[in-house]
Amino acid sequence: MYLMPMLIHLDSNMLPEPIQQVLQRVQDRADYMPAWQRDKVLTDNLGPSWRDLFTTFNEVPIAAASIGQVHSAILKSTGQPVAVKVQYPGVADSIDSDLNNLSILLTASRLLPKGLYLDKTIANARTELAWECDYIREAEGANRFRELLADDPVFVVPEIIAHASGKQVLTMEMLDGVAVTKVTDFTQTQRDWIGTQIMRLCLREIAEFHYMQTDPNWTNFLYNASTNKLELLDFGASRAYPEEFITPYVRTLIAATRNDRQACHDLSIELGYLTGMESQAMVDAHLSSIITLAEPFMLSSPDLYDFSNQTITDRVRAFIPVMIRERLAPPPEETYSLHRKLSGAFLLCARLGSSVPCKALFIEAVEAARRNGLKVE
């Protein structure tokens, strides 16, 4: 039942096409839970008088996903429209058994190459999915982003209603925006602006905040036409990155923008991507993938990088078979979530057809990191 959200933590490009198709069908199907079951979750989390918290509570969900559904309501204490996210019962308890079954399935079928380090991938998914099932943790992530982006002129983070929330229920301010990928009449100027802002946020998360909302789901980015702001949703996958990881990682990106392969090599050993004992084919593929990923931010790149014609993701994908075959160590665990979000930002810009001043955004992010004391040089 819950295999889809677990498998999205794997690199989908590594999954055979038949499995991808099945998983997509599972992801697209989201069933509502019956009212009695929903009410039990609300009672367990908010108490038997939970309805007294709301003037109105829409019985029909306005959205449903793999681990929960969302209801609209009016908060009685303030008259504020809110969204109430209710988790399906048993999701968290099912994770371990589902992941164990998944591991057995993929191991027995021999569909995944050894270089994917399935055990580590499964362990990472287990941790991150447990985070996403903890709505108290998600509330903390949303509150942290409200603080980090308090002075940002573009991004809006919903207010969390603490007294109407619990570990399996999360009540937040209702946002009025529309998912950026569902708007069909954006002008090119708007597409460029949205892509620029999303890339700016992603770089700030890496270099300045060291804290990232790592779910790249495009429906988590809403555009509010009346305010011309971008509204952010779903902070269950938010996480911090320790300075001992983020410092050499940012240095690696800087080296890549300068096409400094030796520095990228040395920093990759420091980070744990390489051991120093790899074949030349593995080293070349790894370094080339880093340089390719950094292409939009290079000093030699155009001032406006046109993502409508980007081939970065395809070119990086071409290096994967060699790296899977020749890899001697799994990547740092931080990589799974960070690269998922970074690649998601690239793909969203490509889908929007945005032209983005990536080079200037990267320089700005590095300068902010330096001002905050990160030793980037």
| Cβ–Cβ < 8 Å for 64, 30 | yes
Distance CA 221, CA 86 (A): 20
138: left (phi over 0), alpha (psi -120 to 50) or beta: alpha
The two structure tokens encoding residue 341:
């979000």
Q: How far is CA 29 from its chain centroid?
A: 21
Q: Which residue has the tokens 């079954």?
A: 101
Among 98, 134, 192, 215, the active-site one is 215
Distance CA 143, CA 123 (A): 27
Distance CA 246, CA 187 (A): 36
Task: Please confirm, yes or no, whether 215 is among the known catalytic residues.
Answer: yes
Distance CA 134, CA 116 (A): 28
Spatial CB neighbours of 57, under 8 Å, sequence gap ≥ 6: 51, 71, 73, 84
Partners of 156 in the beta sheet? 231
| Cβ–Cβ < 8 Å for 196, 303 | no
Other residues' Cβ atoms within 10 Å of the Cβ of residue 240: 13
Other residues' Cβ atoms within 10 Å of the Cβ of residue 78: 10
Residues marked as catalytic: 215
